[in-house]
């Protein structure tokens, strides 16, 4: 029975090759789109599953409230881990961790690698796969190091690397005690590392860890039967049992939420991170697939008259309606399988550029039951959904009427076809508007006044050689014309990570604490970064750094004194500083923010992590060559790896850039698929009205008049699509833009342009077929009977 259905289905498909191709191609595009997005979603949803017990692993979150705003940090104090081990029942394994990008050297190779200083319990929490060595002995020696397989290859090639040494920052040698398997790509970015070393090394180099500064991460794997709710209740006020006036409240945050969520609002409540994009693209991929299925429905029902006599004869010969439904569904499922075969080829073709777009290494593995099963599921669902209405509609024909050639007066099929076209173009218009809005929002942020010279700034990690030779480096680069100014700083102006509370000034409510960002800078920092001093004086480069003189930003100045904050004294604990100047607010940390956090710049003589260089953007390649030559002279043995401020800005906007590009691609796909269906419907309409067209031409109708006659009905459908799409697009756009405090206004011209574009695309699609019909010799059309 099934074999007969397939034979009949294949014969009908072959007899309508032109429409079959449109259906297969449209479905293939929809299936390709859905498959690519499902690969991406699967990758995102499986983040951190590399670790067998990832659902039982936590990081400690630190929640602090300043004024009316609550902040959630991942930074915790140094003494916390040991106190938790000793005082909190059920806490299980705890490990402190501090990330570091360090230079490792072996013979002539000098390579920066990102890693972590961790405690031995780290290997109990995270089950890493050891290729060489053993976790129980990996940290027996203080100066030992565990490296990933790829890091081992970079320095030694293949083979046994145990007991070989690597020098850290051109100083202490570390012995390789183990090699672990490379972590997969879908690990939370902040957790990726190439090496691990005993935390004691970090602790010995940073005595301040003995205090209660929040600066490191703490990982926890509670005991098997531990009550997480109870542990969180204990942790909430745990620090207050040690420091009564602490603002910190701790909680366990599960690893299975690190990727998809891990963002918090001003009330300290968790909100969606990457998950909002997972949901958005999943919905859009489903809609693209539905649009492709709609093409099938439209073309199948439009050609119903061509098959009416076949259906009538089969019913007269005893075919039951359910048998006809099965036949038509068999045809649609067979078409879907043919479309899937084409889509597999398209997936392999488009997967590399798609990977570049989403910055991943996705693969389609047909030997993987999950991948194969997903493709089969998409195929069968698409085939059944696409064939559902046509099979119901075609099988409902009255055999007596169709054999006699009496046309059905029911307009339900035509109404449904028009409704489906309206749906297709409504989605296409919404996606066009979304693409334009995303593009505008990205450019709006890129072109905003950041308050510093973003295009002209480059950074280098500042090691001891650079700090010691700073003046000589500065003089040589400026005198050669390679740089305009140089300075040292703790962070880059793009991202300032140090902050704290407890600041007081005259007139401030001591109960209303304020979180203030703090940045250590050399005296030339403001000139180098291109910031604007709006009152007071800059630091004096000829006077030794004195932290009793500070420069603050506008936001903090308005808090201290709206009229003039220069000369006011700021205190924190036993220290105090006088405001020397006020710098215009500049954008840092949150590129999409509309408000700037209060900031203090300290003229420090230490605590520098970056060399900041201001160069002419138009002479970047020349400047880079000069910087490399100077660094070889004053910082030998260290590779010159420049960080560009504009590229760091792009990193902050990576998700938005991806959304914009994918929105454009989806809009294009929706339009292409919609036009395929419209093209087929226009061809069928022209075919049905071929005699009418011949008569009109004989009676003197022009080609333009006939083209307009055949096109006008479809243009009405596009107009209806615009009326539906515009309010929906405005509602979606308004909700999306609310995520960005610094955002564009929704302009009416976007909707006008999107509507006109939809009209033009539809008009050219339909007019091609209409023009073809209008140019046909009327004699050929009228002499057939």
Q: How confident is the model at residue 2 (pLDDT cuts 50, 70, 90)?
A: very low
* pLDDT at 19 (0 to 100): 59
Residue 497 structure tokens:
């990570």
* pLDDT at 631 (0 to 100): 93
Give residue-wise pLDDT tens across range 508-536. Answer: 888 888 999 999 999 999 999 999 999 99
CB atoms within 10 A of CB 392: 15
Cα distances from 1 to residues 6, 323, 327, 330, 643, in angstroms, run: 9, 10, 10, 12, 68
- Please classify residue 79 by burial: count the beta carbons closer than 10 Å to its beta carbon, then call 0-12 exposed, 13-18 middle and 19+ buried: middle
Q: How wide is the angle at C-alpha 356 spanned by C-alphas 351 and 360, nearest 5°?
A: 80
φ/ψ (deg, to 5) at 497: -105, 0
* pLDDT at 5 (0 to 100): 46
Q: Is the pLDDT of residue 10 over 60?
A: no
Q: Is the dihedral of CA 313, 314, 315, 318 positive or negative?
A: positive
Give residue-wise pLDDT tens across range 103-160. Answer: 999 988 999 999 999 999 999 999 999 999 999 999 999 999 999 999 999 999 888 8
What's the average model confidence in pLDDT over 164-185? 94
* pLDDT at 780 (0 to 100): 59
Give residue-wise pLDDT tens across range 620-660. Answer: 889 999 999 999 999 988 888 898 988 888 888 888 888 88
CB atoms within 10 A of CB 222: 19
Most confident of 88-102, 301-315, 686-700: 88-102
* pLDDT at 318 (0 to 100): 59
* pLDDT at 93 (0 to 100): 95
Q: How confident is the model at residue 7 (pLDDT cuts 50, 70, 90)?
A: low
Q: How confident is the model at residue 305 (pLDDT cuts 50, 70, 90)?
A: low
Q: Is the pLDDT of residue 303 over 80?
A: no
Q: Is the pLDDT of residue 576 over 70?
A: yes
What's the average model confidence in pLDDT over 50-71? 92
Residue 607 structure tokens:
């605590």
Q: Is the pLDDT of residue 300 over 60?
A: yes
Please check whether residue 498 is in contact with residue 517, taking contact to mean a CB–CB distance below 8 angstroms: yes
Q: Is the pLDDT of residue 403 over 70?
A: no
What is the rounded distance in angstroms from the CA atom of residue 149 to the CA atom of residue 182? Answer: 6
Listing DSSP states for 578-642 in one string gives EEEEEEPP---S-TT-SSPPPEEEEE-SS---EEEEE--GGGHHHHHHHHHHHHHHHSTTS----
Give residue-wise pLDDT tens across range 652-710. Answer: 888 888 888 888 888 888 888 887 777 767 766 666 666 666 667 666 667 666 677 76
What's the average model confidence in pLDDT over 571-582? 90
Q: Which of 211-215, 544-548, 564-568 has the lowest mean pLDDT?
A: 544-548
Q: Is the pLDDT of residue 13 over 70?
A: no
Residue 72 neighbours by CB under 8 Å, 6+ apart:
61, 62, 63, 264, 268
Give the SS3 label for residue 172: coil
Residue 682: name the closest of 655, 658, 706 by CA: 706
Tell me the whole-structure pTM to 2 decimals. Answer: 0.84
Q: Is the pLDDT of residue 336 over 90?
A: no
Q: Which of 307-321, 544-558, 560-574, 663-677 has the lowest mean pLDDT?
A: 307-321
Cα distances from 479 to residues 617, 639, 731, in angstroms, run: 18, 23, 57
* pLDDT at 175 (0 to 100): 96
Give residue-wise pLDDT tens across range 439-471. Answer: 888 888 888 889 999 889 999 988 889 999 999
Residue 88: name the closest of 205, 265, 252, 312 by CA: 252
Residue 363 structure tokens:
């693969």
Q: Which of 99-113, 177-191, 416-430 has the lowest mean pLDDT?
A: 416-430
Backbone angle region of 585, left / alpha / beta, with phi > 0 → left and psi within -120 to 50 → alpha: beta
Residue 606 neighbours by CB under 8 Å, 6+ apart:
520
What is the rounded distance in angstroms from the CA atom of residue 161 to the CA atom of residue 130? Answer: 13
CB atoms within 10 A of CB 702: 11
Q: How confident is the model at residue 396 (pLDDT cuts 50, 70, 90)?
A: low
Residue 140 structure tokens:
């027996």
Higher pLDDT residue, 398 or 255?
Answer: 255
Q: How confident is the model at residue 579 (pLDDT cuts 50, 70, 90)?
A: very high
* pLDDT at 773 (0 to 100): 63
Which helix (H) or strand (E) covers residue 332, if one does?
Answer: helix 321-358
Give residue-wise pLDDT tens across range 350-377. Answer: 999 999 888 889 999 888 888 888 889 9
* pLDDT at 150 (0 to 100): 95
Listing DSSP states for 372-434 in one string gives HHHHHHHHHHHHHHHHHHHHHHHTT--HHHHHHTPPP---HHHHHHHHHHHHHHHHHHHHHHH
* pLDDT at 769 (0 to 100): 66
Q: How confident is the model at residue 196 (pLDDT cuts 50, 70, 90)?
A: very high
Q: Is the pLDDT of residue 613 over 90?
A: yes
Residue 674 neighbours by CB under 8 Å, 6+ apart:
291, 295, 421, 424, 425, 427, 428
Strand partners, 495: 492
Q: How confident is the model at residue 409 (pLDDT cuts 50, 70, 90)?
A: very low
Q: Is the pLDDT of residue 411 over 80?
A: no
Question: Average pLDDT of the chain?
Answer: 85
Higher pLDDT residue, 88 or 703?
Answer: 88
CB atoms within 10 A of CB 567: 10
Please check whether residue 175 is in contact with residue 143, taking contact to mean a CB–CB distance below 8 angstroms: yes
């Amino acid at each position: 029975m099934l074999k007969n259905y397939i034979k009949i289905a294949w014969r009908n498909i072959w007899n309508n090759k032109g429409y079959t191709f449109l259906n297969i191609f449209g479905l293939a595009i929809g299936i390709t789109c859905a498959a690519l997005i499902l690969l991406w979603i699967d990758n995102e949803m499986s983040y951190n599953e590399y670790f067998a017990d990832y659902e039982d692993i936590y990081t400690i979150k630190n929640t602090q409230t300043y004024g009316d705003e609550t902040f959630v940090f991942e930074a915790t104090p140094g003494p916390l881990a040991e106190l938790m081990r000793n005082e909190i029942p059920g806490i299980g394994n705890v490990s402190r961790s501090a990330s570091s990008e360090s230079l490792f050297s072996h013979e002539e190779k000098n390579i920066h690698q990102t890693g972590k200083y961790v405690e031995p319990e780290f290997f109990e929490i995270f089950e890493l796969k050891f290729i060489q060595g053993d976790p129980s002995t990996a940290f027996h020696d203080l100066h030992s190091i565990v490296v990933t397989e790829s890091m081992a290859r970079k320095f030694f090639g293949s083979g046994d690397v145990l007991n070989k040494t690597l020098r850290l920052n051109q100083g202490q040698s570390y012995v390789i005690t183990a090699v672990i398997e490379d972590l997969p790509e879908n690990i939370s970015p902040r957790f990726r590392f190439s090496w691990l070393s005993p935390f004691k090394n970090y602790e010995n180099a940073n005595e301040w860890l003995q205090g209660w500064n929040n600066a490191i991460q703490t990982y926890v794997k509670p005991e098997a039967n531990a009550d997480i709710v109870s542990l969180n209740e204990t942790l909430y006020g745990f620090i207050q049992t040690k420091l009564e006036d602490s603002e910190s409240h701790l909680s366990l945050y599960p690893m299975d939420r690190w990727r998809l969520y891990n963002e918090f609002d001003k009330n300290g409540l968790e909100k969606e991170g990457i998950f909002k994009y997972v949901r958005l693209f999943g919905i859009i991929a489903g809609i693209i697939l539905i649009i492709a299925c709609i093409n099938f429905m439209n073309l199948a029902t439009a050609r119903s008259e061509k098959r009416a006599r076949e259906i009538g004869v089969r019913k007269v010969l005893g075919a039951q309606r359910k048998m006809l439904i099965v036949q038509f569904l068999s045809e649609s499922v067979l078409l879907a399988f043919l479309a899937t075969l084409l889509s597999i080829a398209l997936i392999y073709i488009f997967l590399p550029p798609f990977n570049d777009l989403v910055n991943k290494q996705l693969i389609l593995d047909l030997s993987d039951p999950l991948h194969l099963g997903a493709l089969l599921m998409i195929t069968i669902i698409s085939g059944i959904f696409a064939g559902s209405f046509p099979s119901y509609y075609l099988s409902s024909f009255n055999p007596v009427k169709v054999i006699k050639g009496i046309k059905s007066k029911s307009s339900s099929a035509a109404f449904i076809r028009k409704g489906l076209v309206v749906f297709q173009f409504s989605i296409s218009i919404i996606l066009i508007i979304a693409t334009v809005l995303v593009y505008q929002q990205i450019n709006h942020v890129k072109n905003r006044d950041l308050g510093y010279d973003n295009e002209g700034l480059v950074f280098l990690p500042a090691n001891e050689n650079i700090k010691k030779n700073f003046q000589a480096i500065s003089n040589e680069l400026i005198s050669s014309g390679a740089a305009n100014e140089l300075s040292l700083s703790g962070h880059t102006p793009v991202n300032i990570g140090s902050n704290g509370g407890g600041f007081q000034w005259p007139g401030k409510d001591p109960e209303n604490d304020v979180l203030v960002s703090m940045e250590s800078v050399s005296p030339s920092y403001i000139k180098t970064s291109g910031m604007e001093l709006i009152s007071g004086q800059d630091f004096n480069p000829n006077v030794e750094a004195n932290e009793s003189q500070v420069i603050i930003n506008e936001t903090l100045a308005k808090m201290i004194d709206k009229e003039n904050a220069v000369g006011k004294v700021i205190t924190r604990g036993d220290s105090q500083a006088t405001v020397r100047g006020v710098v215009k607010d500049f954008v840092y940390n949150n590129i999409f923010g509309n408000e700037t956090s209060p900031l203090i710049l300290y003229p420090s003589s230490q605590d520098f992590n970056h060399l900041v260089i201001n160069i002419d953007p138009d002479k970047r390649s020349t400047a880079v060559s000069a910087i490399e030559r100077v660094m070889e002279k004053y910082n030998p043995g260290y590779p010159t790896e420049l960080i560009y401020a504009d590229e760091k800005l792009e990193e902050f906007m990576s998700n938005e850039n991806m959304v914009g590009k994918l929105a454009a691609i989806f809009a294009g796909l929706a339009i292409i698929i919609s036009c395929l269906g419209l093209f087929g419907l226009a061809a069928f309409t022209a075919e049905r009205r071929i005699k009418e067209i011949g008569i009109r031409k004989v009676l003197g109708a022009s080609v333009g008049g006939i083209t307009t006659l055949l096109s006008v009905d479809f243009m009405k459908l596009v107009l209806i699509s615009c009326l539906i799409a515009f309010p929906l697009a405005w509602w979606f756009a308004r909700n999306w833009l609310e995520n960005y405090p610094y955002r564009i206004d929704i302009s009416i011209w976007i909707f006008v342009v999107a509507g006109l574009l939809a009209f033009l695309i539809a008009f050219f699609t339909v007019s091609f077929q209409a023009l073809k019909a209008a140019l046909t010799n009327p004699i050929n059309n009228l002499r057939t009977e």
